[in-house]
Amino acid sequence: MALHFEISAGSDEPIYAQIEARIRRAVANGGLRDGEQLPSVRALAERLTVNPNTVARAYGELIAEGLVTARHGRGFFVERRHQVFSEVERQRRLDAAIHAFLNEVALLGLSQTRILSRLREIFTGYKQ
């Protein structure tokens, strides 16, 4: 289980959403591979010092999204199945993510060129 990340209790983003995002990112960049087992709810809750219900909620969201599967008696596993979102929903989620990103970077006062350049650098490092 190569799942190592931190969460921020002081963040505006709910803790369960932070957990979801970190797992999604680990899958996207190859840190977690298809079929790899995730920590148990209790183990991850203890490691992050959060309520187990918070981890269970994050796992539940990832299961609904089709990124994780629960195997009775065995635990939770990464399972990149077919795309579960319609093209319209995928576009809606992309637009929401882009708007959230732009709202964050707008306050930095950086040029569009610098932002796009850095985005390309980081995106290149992600495994597709």
Span 74-88, mean pLDDT?
A: 80
Which tokens go with 70? 């629960």
With a cut of 80, say whether residue 112 has pLDDT above it.
Answer: yes
φ/ψ bin of 89: left (φ > 0), alpha (ψ from -120 to 50), beta (otherwise): alpha
Signed CA dihedral, 91, 122, 65, 11: sign only: negative
Delimit the domains of the chain by residue range: 15-78, 87-125
The pLDDT of residue 66: 85
Distance, in Å, from the CA atom of 75 to the CA atom of 36, rounded to the nearest integer, reads 10
Which tokens go with 38? 């995730």
Q: 3.40.50.1980, 3.30.230.10, 1.10.10.10, 3.40.50.720: which CATH number matches 15-78? A: 1.10.10.10
Which tokens go with 65? 């999204």
Angle at 26 between CA 23 and CA 31, to 5 degrees: 135
Provide the whole-model pTM.
0.67
